[in-house]
């Protein structure tokens, strides 16, 4: 069982927006602004999409955005495209003992 809770799956049609939630606790997501999101296509390595809650690395389309409220972080993908279909994982710093926790992953299907 993962420390952070994500929906198992979400879906949307091309052009639509979807939001993936990531719920933790006051010891991880709620305590630190070290929340990242990773995209993973089948058989591939993860790719960093969002870091520090809402920052985008260079090369990541601005259709991807992140936010946080309390113990829940969110990844929003607007203007869905076929290539966005992938698994998405959130992770958070959880203090100087546990260090890093992940969500169980969300499968995004573009209909």
Q: Interface residues with another protein (CB under 8 A)?
A: 2, 34-36, 38, 40, 44-48, 51-52, 57, 89, 91-93, 98-105
Closer CB to another protein, residue 14 or residue 55? Answer: 55
Q: How far is the CB of 8 from another protein (least distance, A)?
A: 11
- Contact predicate 39/108, CB 8 Å: no
Residue partners of 82: CB distance under 8 A and separation at least 6: 14, 110
Q: How far is the CB of 73 from another protein (least distance, A)?
A: 11
Sort residue 78 into left (φ over 0), alpha (ψ -120 to 50) or beta: beta
Closer CB to another protein, residue 101 or residue 110? Answer: 101
């Amino acid at each position: 069982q993962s420390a952070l809770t994500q929906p198992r799956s979400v879906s949307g049609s091309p052009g639509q927006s979807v939001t993936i939630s990531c719920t933790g606790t006051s010891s991880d997501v709620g305590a630190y602004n070290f929340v990242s999101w990773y995209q993973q296509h089948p058989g591939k390595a993860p790719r960093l999409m969002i870091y520090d809650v809402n920052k985008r690395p260079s090369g990541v389309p601005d259709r991807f955005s992140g936010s946080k409220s309390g113990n829940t972080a969110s990844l929003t993908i607007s203007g869905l495209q076929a290539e966005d279909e992938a698994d998405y994982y959130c992770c958070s710093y959880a203090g100087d003992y546990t260090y890093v926790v992940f969500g169980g992953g969300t499968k995004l299907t573009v209909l």
